[in-house]
A = this chain, B = another copy of it.
Amino acid sequence: MLDNIQKQLLKEVADLYKMPKGAYNIRANGEKAARNTTENIDIVTKDDKPGIDIIIKDGTKNESVHIPVVLSESGIKETVYNDFYIGEDCDVVIVAGCGISNCGTHDSEHDGVHRFFVGKNSKIRYVEKHYGEGDGSGKRILNPVTEVYQKENSFVDMEMVQIKGVDSTHRVTKAELAEGATMIVHERLMTHGEQKATSVYEVELNGEGSSTDVISRSVAKDNSEQIFEAAIIGNTVCNGHAECDAIIMDNAHVVAVPKLDARNVDAALIHEAAIGKIAGEQLIKLMSLGLTEKEAEEQIIGGFLR
């Protein structure tokens, strides 16, 4: 079973204080640590490569799947393939996430490749949190790839969070939307120290009336570097919006490269981006209430990333 460090990681990445209700699969240090399936949600270990298939029956509602991964040994490097087959008319919550505690000298790396096949009229909320900790010189590396294939009138709401402790990440999210499908993404990202984070989104609006809203908020501290790329491709009557707001601090470096690609007269695409430091007035206001400058900064960042 899980040790205390692993339990702590689970709490950070999946808000889990004990075993979750419903379906779950917990992976610890490269092996299955626990699994539960339900009448509607099956989880099957893949034969050909590391990873699992999560199969959700048509009409499954108000259920959840948790598939957190924790690494507490130094020097583990794994690539895991998880496929989600979601039937029609479902309404489910999927919680993924990876926590790495690396107190050793070797790099620890988890690369998750998640594919979502979302059936007609289904509604999915997907939460993915990444977290790192540990005093070791070994790096904590996470390179997630997420592919989303949305059938007619499906709705996907993704929350992608990387708050702390991940030294290097290159995250790629691609989506293809059919008629009437909607995809909402909220990304929240904080980097510090010498961390590097690259986040790439590519959403193809293929079906009539499909729409997407990709919103990224990030804070770059110390000497960290962030690159944000978001491409929205409009192939039909569709609506796309992308927004990227970044707070830059210290000696950080932030690059935002959105891309709007309108291939149809009825594609309406909008993008906004802003990079800047914390407003001086905000800091002074909070400091006049008795906070130190550092406390005021933390308050503002906390609010910005909430």
Contact = CB atoms under 8 A, between A and B. Distances in A.
16 contacts: A246-B262, A248-B262, A248-B265, A248-B267, A250-B265, A251-B265, A254-B261, A254-B262, A255-B260, A255-B261, A256-B271, A258-B258, A262-B276, A268-B276, A271-B273, A271-B274
A123 to B, nearest CB: 28
Given A255-B261, A256-B259, A277 B273 contact: no
Interface residues of A, number: 32
Contacts of A301: none
A16 interface: no
A113 interface: no
Most chain B CB within a 10 A radius of its CB, from A256, A258, A275? A275
A249 interface: yes
A214 to B, nearest CB: 13
Given A254-B262, A262-B253, A262-B254, A267 B271 contact: no
Interface of A: 234, 246, 248-277
A269 B250 CA distance: 16
B275 A272 contact: no
Closest 6 CB pairs of A and B: A268-B276, A262-B275, A271-B273, A256-B260, A257-B259, A254-B262
Contacts of A234: 275
